[in-house]
Structure 1
Amino acid sequence: MTTHHDNTTGPLAPPIWIGPLKVDPPILQAPMAGFTNFPFRQIVRQFGGAGLLATEMVNAKGFVWLDEQEATHPDRLWGVADEPRPLAVQIWDNDPPTLAKVGRRLATEYQVSVVDINFGCPVRQVTQKAHSGSYLLSQPERMGQIIEQVVAACAPTPVTAKIRLGCARDKINATDIAQVVEGSGAAALTVHGRTAADMFRGEADWEMISAIKPYLKKIPLIGNGDLDTPEKVVRAFQNFDVDGVMIARASLNKPWLFAHSAAALRGEPIPAEPSLEEQRQLMMQHYHLVCDRFGVQKGTVLMRKYACCYAQGRHGARDFRKHVAKVTTREEFHQVVETFFPRELQPTPV
């Protein structure tokens, strides 16, 4: 096991620099398709603790098409223009000029803090059908061309890359890819500790993430995978050679995880989890934000998956999920939450 930090020499997790951008604390919110939209980011920002937030990933080809039709910007960029910074936007495709064109728009027109390129998505629609995401890990040369062109188009806005360990367990090439990423001008590298073939099965391999660090000369290495408690975030910095961490799925039912992790890294006591009543109120606030954005009809349907996340791992979650999965109106949503959302367990009388 690689031990990176020595507590006697300074903070456990000092800020990282992504090009000219200081990220403090070095805890990043992962881009997640279908989830990290404007209302979710508002909730995360309310708690604090995330040094850099990210949008959902944006399909570059779709963006260019909208542009050519003079239509509005992609739905996934809603709110970005007026949102607090720092903020990263993640883009995906396999065509260097298309990605460069979109990167330039994001850097100049939207003035985002970071343009991130997705080389990690393992979903079939992105890999097999579009030959993008983690499919490109088998084509380091193409990755290099993409990064070089996007970096040139976005300057001085920093460009980063997110990868997996490789396409499959017998095709792990993350150390080679890391050198391509840095050599092509990227300002940071995020590595998810699984291969594309693993999808989200098994455990993320932090030893393999850590093994990449000696191959990077200047840019920060950000580790990602299975960070679902503040204690695990602390251990990632204590035990592995990473400069930053990225929290993904665990934040969907614990958006306060960033703030609690940041407190733990500062050596402060980890705050108590919000009570189930506070979590219910938070979910209702989230619901109203979603409805403000998408209207009640679409917002109610969209909120089903978030509501399921909020209940995850709580007593009575299955019953709640079963009912909330069918709601279509505001009244139904309120009623299901009132009736089925998990409540504090009453102590059994002795």
Structure 2
Amino acid sequence: MPNGITAIANRKPLSGLASSDTTPFDAAVLPIVTPLRIGDLVVDPPILQAPMAGYTNYAFRQIVRAYGGAGLLATEMVNARGFIWMDREQAEHPDRLWGVADEPRPLAVQIWDNDPETLAAVGARLTHEYKVSVVDINFGCPVRQVTEKAHSGSYLLRTPDRMGQIIERVVAACHPTPVTAKTRLGCSRDKINIIDVAQIVEGAGAAALTVHGRTAADMFRGQASWDLISTIKPHLKRIPLIGNGDLDTAEKVVEAFRRWNVDGVMIARASLGKPWLFQQAAAALRGEPIPPDPTLEEERELMVEHFRLVCERFGEERGAVLMRKFACCYAQGRPGAREFRKHVVGIETAAEFFDVVEQWFPRSVV
């Protein structure tokens, strides 16, 4: 693990601060949280890192893993049909599987398509060749390229029976590795069918269900409906329910377990700019002081290490382009973030990246 990341991750909480960010939760109001079981896999703590296309690559996972707190990490979603094509053409397997073969477990790989046989073939490869811990099937992506063009992701919420057929086939191909499903509440607010979907997912043999508290039509607008997520649990007989959506603080993670009927939570977009959020959430669930955010200087050091990891894989030119979006995430919510974004989105070389970071990344005010 990179030394710079480890040093920041191991930093102890600051003492003597009145901020709630470093104050332990009252044990009397803490929810009772037990390890999550996905088939034979024990996920402890029951806090999962969401698969996010274009973001949750090996470099990002290295950073999350160094901080700790995520019980299960996940890759970006992998196009099953593209995987098969690359395999047939004897090309290198997708970049989205970068690091998967050798990195620590547990690790989930998410796949997407609408054909049961294609998904089963890829799931079997991931299970028996890559030996992943979980194969997750994406039924929640709302992006047009996946839905309308490929009739996959959240498009399949229109045909729950098809979802069941896919899961059954992938479960059979991946045995004994558990297969899970990630989905949304429905296609739109007037077509919420998550209860029916949940029962089909369980009946088809999935080992867990993750539900994002928005519909496909919502995309990422508005607020996630945790009250609707909580209505699902009574309809599941044997598999755990994992809730996802708008978890951007440790306090919200504790509240999700306390108020809503879930067995686990999945943190997504908020972690892109705060990969230490899992560590903070895990501490909060244990009733311990929440580790503080890194200082801006430490965050700058972390971002530079992230860039180095990306360049090791993709080279300087492509690494610089890929790092643009990650750098924007790190600056989000900081004073001067807009000016930093304006400059960093145009970087093309390592020298330009370091120059922009030095000149424009926000600095602590003394």
Q: State the TM bucket, normalised to the shorter chain.
A: over 0.9
Instruction: Tell me the distance in 2 between the aligned counterparts of 1:55 and 1:85.
Output: 12
Which of 101, 105, 112 in structure 1 is aligned with 2:125?
Answer: 105
Check whether the contact 1:11–1:266 (CA below 8 A) recurs between aligned residues.
no
Instruction: Tell me the distance in 2 between the aligned counterparts of 1:199 and 1:321.
Output: 24
- Does residue 331 of the first structure (1) align with residue 363 of the second (2)? no
User: Structure 1, residues 27-77: CA drift from partner, whole Å, max 9, x if none?
Assistant: 000000000000000000010000000000000000111111121211110
User: Structure 1, residues 285-317: CA drift from partner, whole Å, max 9, x if none?
Assistant: 101111111111111111010000000000000
Check whether the contact 1:324–1:336 (CA below 8 A) recurs between aligned residues.
yes
Instruction: Tell me the distance in 1 between the aligned counterparts of 2:183 and 2:190.
Output: 16
Which of 195, 218, 221 in structure 2 is aligned with 1:201?
Answer: 221
Q: Corresponding residue for 1:150? A: 170
Check whether the contact 1:119–1:136 (CA below 8 A) recurs between aligned residues.
yes
Instruction: Tell me the distance in 2 between the aligned counterparts of 1:63 and 1:328.
Output: 29
Q: CA deviation at 1:264?
A: 0.1
- Does residue 120 of the first structure (1) align with residue 174 of the second (2)? no
For residue 235 of structure 1, give the secondary structure of its aligned residue in structure 2: helix
Q: CA deviation at 1:9?
A: 11
Q: Corresponding residue for 1:277? A: 297
Q: How many residues matched?
A: 340
Q: CA deviation at 1:13?
A: 1.7
Instruction: Tell me the distance in 2 between the aligned counterparts of 1:146 and 1:283.
Output: 39
Name the aligned partner's letter for residue 133 of structure 1. Answer: G
Q: Corresponding residue for 2:4? A: none
For residue 55 of structure 1, give the secondary structure of its aligned residue in structure 2: strand
Q: Corresponding residue for 1:134? A: 154
Q: Corresponding residue for 2:63? A: 43
Name the aligned partner's letter for residue 138 of structure 2. Answer: N
Instruction: Tell me the distance in 1 between the aligned counterparts of 2:308 and 2:67.
Output: 17
TM-score computed with the length of structure 1 as normaliser: 0.96
For residue 289 of structure 2, give the secondary structure of its aligned residue in structure 1: coil
TM-score computed with the length of structure 2 as normaliser: 0.92
Q: CA deviation at 1:96?
A: 0.4
Instruction: Tell me the distance in 2 between the aligned counterparts of 1:224 and 1:185.
Output: 21
Q: Structure 1 residues 34, 10: CA separation in 2 closer, same or farther (over 3 Å shift)?
A: closer
Instruction: Tell me the distance in 1 between the aligned counterparts of 2:134 and 2:338.
Output: 39
Q: Corresponding residue for 1:54? A: 74
Check whether the contact 1:91–1:99 (CA below 8 A) recurs between aligned residues.
yes
Instruction: Tell me the distance in 1 between the aligned counterparts of 2:202 and 2:29.
Output: 28
Q: Corresponding residue for 2:331? A: 311
Residue range with higher mean Cα deviation, 244-253 or 270-279: 270-279
Instruction: Tell me the distance in 2 between the aligned counterparts of 1:326 and 1:130.
Output: 31
Which of 15, 39, 44 in structure 2 is aligned with 1:19?
Answer: 39
Aligned Cα root-mean-square deviation (Å)? 1.1
Instruction: Tell me the distance in 2 between the aligned counterparts of 1:187 and 1:75.
Output: 27
Instruction: Report % sequence identity.
Output: 74
- Does residue 95 of the first structure (1) align with residue 115 of the second (2)? yes
Name the aligned partner's letter for residue 326 of structure 2. Answer: Y
Q: Corresponding residue for 1:77? A: 97
Instruction: Tell me the distance in 2 between the aligned counterparts of 1:127 and 1:282.
Output: 35
Instruction: Tell me the distance in 2 between the aligned counterparts of 1:30 and 1:9.
Output: 27
Instruction: Tell me the distance in 2 between the aligned counterparts of 1:81 and 1:48.
Output: 20
Instruction: Tell me the distance in 2 between the aligned counterparts of 1:245 and 1:228.
Output: 12
Q: Corresponding residue for 2:3? A: none
User: Structure 1, residues 170-202: CA drift from partner, whole Å, max 9, x if none?
Assistant: 000001100000000000000000000000000
Consecutive aligned runs of 4 or more in structure 1 exceeding 3 Å deviation: 7-11
- Does residue 343 of the first structure (1) align with residue 363 of the second (2)? yes
Name the aligned partner's letter for residue 283 of structure 1. Answer: M
Check whether the contact 1:12–1:266 (CA below 8 A) recurs between aligned residues.
no
Check whether the contact 2:86–2:94 (CA below 8 A) recurs between aligned residues.
yes
Name the aligned partner's letter for residue 292 of structure 1. Answer: E
- Does residue 296 of the first structure (1) align with residue 313 of the second (2)? no
Instruction: Tell me the distance in 2 between the aligned counterparts of 1:239 and 1:25.
Output: 18
- Does residue 32 of the first structure (1) align with residue 52 of the second (2)? yes
